[in-house]
Amino acid sequence: MYSTPFSPAEARSARARVGLSTAQVAQAMTACGAPVRPELVEAWEYGSQFPTEPQLFALADVLWCPPTVLMGVEPRTLAEHRMARQLSVERLSQVIGMDPGHYRAAEAAQQWTGDYRQTKALVDALGLSLRKLIGVMGRNEELAGHLRTAIDGRWKSHVGPVATITTLNKTRVSDALRAMHAEFAEFSERYMGHVMARNDDSRLKQVAAERAAYLRRLVDHFWELIGDAGEAPPFHTVPTH
């Protein structure tokens, strides 16, 4: 089971900033619908126990700080991005129109299987871009593998897999892969041109270096070609309770 990230040191610092005692924190959390005893708040601050998600959200409200401060980490996983927005699994599932069990499984496996509409709703709710979501789900290497094969071979056969990974329209993916295939072909033509012309090694090395740099930026360049569709959607507030 996924454990809620929590930093005892940050919790102590946050409480000190607002000038509350552990008893006052417990009282305020109880008033917010998350009843706890002062002893439990102290246990959190000393790291002997850790809050549940609802307790983390209530504690963040009481201490007037974002959940990420108390989490002590920059969100890396889908679950952490959700918690950073103070969204429960049930609330986020409702927002994106997905069964909570299916969404919970996606978090646990770090594998997103939502359709285009659900994906758009997810990135909107979490304040992500589609591009960032692919990285959060750990699929950049998979995407890069398809791009490397596509630019140096039959790019059309990779339109479907890339569209599946990114949930992008196949036409948009096709346009990007076609452009990248043509760009990469230019490197081969220039290289062979220098070879046939018997140019010096420095010219060949320059072309080879440019080719290597292009390959290193494949994923970034793909998103540059995709343009606005890969960027963050307009933000709107999602009710958290």
> 74: closest CA among 147, 156, 132, 150?
132
For domain 8-71, the CATH class is: mainly alpha
pLDDT, tens digit (0-9, with 9 covering 90-100), for 14-31 = 999 999 999 999 999 999
Q: Domain ranges for the chain, please list them.
A: 8-71, 78-136, 140-230
pLDDT, tens digit (0-9, with 9 covering 90-100), for 98-129 = 999 999 999 998 888 888 889 889 999 999 98
Residues of the chain with pLDDT under 50: 1, 232-241
What stretch of H or E contains 126? Answer: helix 116-126
Supply the pLDDT for residue 67: 96
Q: Could you count the other beta carbons within 10 Å of the beta carbon of residue 78? A: 24
Query: 8-71 and 78-136: same fold?
Result: yes
CA distance 225 to 212: 19
The backbone region for 65, taken as left when phi is positive above 0, alpha when psi lies in -120 to 50, beta otherwise, is beta
Within 8 A by CB and 6+ apart from 191, the residues are 204, 207, 208, 211
The backbone region for 202, taken as left when phi is positive above 0, alpha when psi lies in -120 to 50, beta otherwise, is alpha
The CATH code of domain 78-136 reads 1.10.260.40
